[in-house]
Amino acid sequence: MNIKIKKKRYLIIGKTIINCCIGKGGLKLSKKEGDKSTPKGKFSLGTLYFRKDRIKNLNTNIKKKIISKSMGWCHDINNKNYNKKVNYKNNKYSEKLYRKDHKYDLFLVINYNIKPTVPGKGSAIFLHLTKNYLSTNGCIAIKKEDFFKVLKKINKKSKIIIS
Protein backbone atom coordinates (compact mmCIF):
# COMPACT_ATOMS: atom_id res chain seq x y z
CA MET A 1 0.00 0.00 0.00
CA ASN A 2 1.29 3.48 -0.85
CA ILE A 3 1.62 6.41 1.51
CA LYS A 4 0.41 9.85 0.36
CA ILE A 5 1.41 13.20 1.83
CA LYS A 6 -0.87 16.14 1.02
CA LYS A 7 -0.16 19.88 1.27
CA LYS A 8 -2.47 20.23 4.22
CA ARG A 9 0.03 18.11 6.13
CA TYR A 10 -1.79 14.83 6.23
CA LEU A 11 -0.38 11.38 5.69
CA ILE A 12 -2.92 9.10 4.02
CA ILE A 13 -2.56 5.34 3.82
CA GLY A 14 -5.59 3.45 2.60
CA LYS A 15 -8.56 4.91 4.48
CA THR A 16 -6.43 6.07 7.39
CA ILE A 17 -5.66 9.81 7.65
CA ILE A 18 -2.85 10.81 10.02
CA ASN A 19 -1.57 14.26 11.01
CA CYS A 20 2.03 14.86 10.02
CA CYS A 21 4.54 17.68 9.74
CA ILE A 22 6.82 18.52 6.83
CA GLY A 23 9.82 20.77 6.21
CA LYS A 24 9.84 24.43 7.26
CA GLY A 25 10.43 25.33 3.61
CA GLY A 26 7.25 23.56 2.45
CA LEU A 27 7.12 21.15 -0.47
CA LYS A 28 9.49 21.66 -3.44
CA LEU A 29 10.20 19.92 -6.72
CA SER A 30 13.74 21.34 -6.76
CA LYS A 31 15.00 20.59 -3.27
CA LYS A 32 18.53 21.68 -2.31
CA GLU A 33 20.72 20.78 0.64
CA GLY A 34 19.88 22.95 3.64
CA ASP A 35 16.71 24.57 2.22
CA LYS A 36 14.54 22.85 4.87
CA SER A 37 12.00 21.78 2.26
CA THR A 38 10.40 18.39 1.74
CA PRO A 39 10.87 17.03 -1.78
CA LYS A 40 7.80 16.51 -3.98
CA GLY A 41 7.58 13.29 -5.93
CA LYS A 42 7.05 9.54 -5.75
CA PHE A 43 9.76 7.63 -3.90
CA SER A 44 10.42 4.08 -2.82
CA LEU A 45 11.03 3.31 0.84
CA GLY A 46 14.40 2.28 2.21
CA THR A 47 15.58 0.72 5.42
CA LEU A 48 13.72 1.07 8.72
CA TYR A 49 16.08 2.05 11.53
CA PHE A 50 15.21 1.71 15.22
CA ARG A 51 16.63 2.00 18.74
CA LYS A 52 16.37 -1.48 20.24
CA ASP A 53 16.58 0.00 23.75
CA ARG A 54 13.42 2.06 23.07
CA ILE A 55 11.45 0.06 20.47
CA LYS A 56 10.48 -3.50 21.39
CA ASN A 57 8.82 -6.25 19.35
CA LEU A 58 9.10 -4.55 15.97
CA ASN A 59 7.17 -6.69 13.49
CA THR A 60 7.33 -5.48 9.89
CA ASN A 61 7.95 -6.66 6.33
CA ILE A 62 10.38 -3.78 5.76
CA LYS A 63 14.16 -4.30 5.93
CA LYS A 64 15.25 -3.08 9.36
CA LYS A 65 18.49 -2.20 11.16
CA ILE A 66 19.30 -1.39 14.77
CA ILE A 67 20.72 2.10 15.32
CA SER A 68 24.13 2.04 17.00
CA LYS A 69 25.70 4.91 18.94
CA SER A 70 28.21 5.51 16.14
CA MET A 71 25.70 5.86 13.28
CA GLY A 72 25.27 9.09 11.37
CA TRP A 73 23.95 10.30 8.00
CA CYS A 74 26.34 12.32 5.80
CA HIS A 75 25.23 15.76 4.59
CA ASP A 76 28.64 16.92 3.31
CA ILE A 77 28.18 17.57 -0.42
CA ASN A 78 31.94 17.08 -0.98
CA ASN A 79 32.06 13.67 0.70
CA LYS A 80 31.84 10.44 -1.32
CA ASN A 81 29.35 9.19 1.30
CA TYR A 82 26.94 12.11 0.81
CA ASN A 83 23.36 11.06 1.67
CA LYS A 84 24.46 7.72 3.09
CA LYS A 85 24.74 6.11 6.51
CA VAL A 86 28.21 6.73 7.97
CA ASN A 87 30.17 6.38 11.18
CA TYR A 88 29.26 9.57 13.05
CA LYS A 89 32.52 9.67 14.99
CA ASN A 90 34.58 9.73 11.78
CA ASN A 91 32.45 12.24 9.87
CA LYS A 92 32.02 15.71 11.37
CA TYR A 93 29.55 16.65 8.62
CA SER A 94 26.93 14.10 9.50
CA GLU A 95 23.72 14.01 11.48
CA LYS A 96 23.80 11.77 14.54
CA LEU A 97 21.18 9.00 14.37
CA TYR A 98 21.46 7.79 17.99
CA ARG A 99 19.84 10.76 19.71
CA LYS A 100 18.74 11.72 23.22
CA ASP A 101 15.43 13.06 21.95
CA HIS A 102 13.08 10.46 20.52
CA LYS A 103 12.83 11.70 16.90
CA TYR A 104 14.97 8.90 15.52
CA ASP A 105 13.93 6.08 17.84
CA LEU A 106 12.18 4.78 14.74
CA PHE A 107 12.65 6.15 11.22
CA LEU A 108 12.21 5.02 7.66
CA VAL A 109 14.50 6.21 4.88
CA ILE A 110 12.66 7.84 1.99
CA ASN A 111 14.71 7.00 -1.10
CA TYR A 112 15.10 10.58 -2.25
CA ASN A 113 18.40 11.40 -4.00
CA ILE A 114 19.70 7.88 -3.40
CA LYS A 115 20.36 6.21 -6.78
CA PRO A 116 21.97 8.18 -8.20
CA THR A 117 23.04 10.53 -5.43
CA VAL A 118 23.50 14.11 -6.68
CA PRO A 119 25.62 16.26 -4.33
CA GLY A 120 23.67 19.29 -3.11
CA LYS A 121 20.24 17.93 -4.05
CA GLY A 122 19.34 17.13 -0.44
CA SER A 123 20.03 14.41 2.09
CA ALA A 124 18.61 12.56 5.07
CA ILE A 125 14.95 12.60 4.06
CA PHE A 126 13.18 10.34 6.51
CA LEU A 127 9.77 9.49 7.92
CA HIS A 128 10.49 9.89 11.64
CA LEU A 129 8.81 10.58 14.97
CA THR A 130 7.41 13.79 16.44
CA LYS A 131 5.64 14.69 19.66
CA ASN A 132 4.54 18.21 18.74
CA TYR A 133 4.12 18.50 14.93
CA LEU A 134 6.66 21.32 14.64
CA SER A 135 8.09 21.74 11.15
CA THR A 136 11.12 19.61 10.27
CA ASN A 137 14.29 20.34 8.30
CA GLY A 138 12.82 18.48 5.31
CA CYS A 139 11.62 15.16 6.69
CA ILE A 140 8.07 13.99 7.35
CA ALA A 141 7.23 13.30 10.98
CA ILE A 142 4.34 11.54 12.71
CA LYS A 143 3.50 10.35 16.20
CA LYS A 144 4.88 7.01 17.36
CA GLU A 145 1.48 5.30 17.61
CA ASP A 146 0.72 6.40 14.04
CA PHE A 147 4.08 5.11 12.82
CA PHE A 148 3.11 1.61 13.98
CA LYS A 149 -0.18 1.91 12.06
CA VAL A 150 1.77 2.79 8.90
CA LEU A 151 4.20 -0.11 9.38
CA LYS A 152 1.31 -2.58 9.42
CA LYS A 153 0.17 -1.38 5.98
CA ILE A 154 3.41 -1.10 4.01
CA ASN A 155 5.84 -3.54 2.44
CA LYS A 156 9.04 -3.40 0.37
CA LYS A 157 7.05 -2.45 -2.77
CA SER A 158 5.25 0.49 -1.12
CA LYS A 159 5.94 4.04 -2.30
CA ILE A 160 5.51 7.44 -0.72
CA ILE A 161 3.85 10.12 -2.86
CA ILE A 162 4.52 13.66 -1.69
CA SER A 163 2.40 16.35 -3.35
Instruction: Report, as an integer, the average pLDDT of 65-84.
Output: 96
Of residues 13 and 7, more confidently modeled: 13
> Can you give the pTM of this predicted structure?
0.95
17-53 tens-digit pLDDT: 999 999 999 999 999 999 999 999 999 999 999 999 9
Which residues of the chain form beta strands (DSSP E)? 3-6, 10-13, 16-19, 27-28, 38-39, 41-50, 64-66, 71-74, 85-87, 94-96, 106-110, 126-129, 140-142, 159-162
**Cα 58 from Cα 81, distance rounded (Å):** 29
Q: Which domains does the chain have, with CATH numbers?
A: 3-162 (2.40.440.10)
What is the structure's pLDDT at 162?
97
110-163 tens-digit pLDDT: 999 999 999 999 999 999 999 999 999 999 999 999 999 999 999 999 999 999
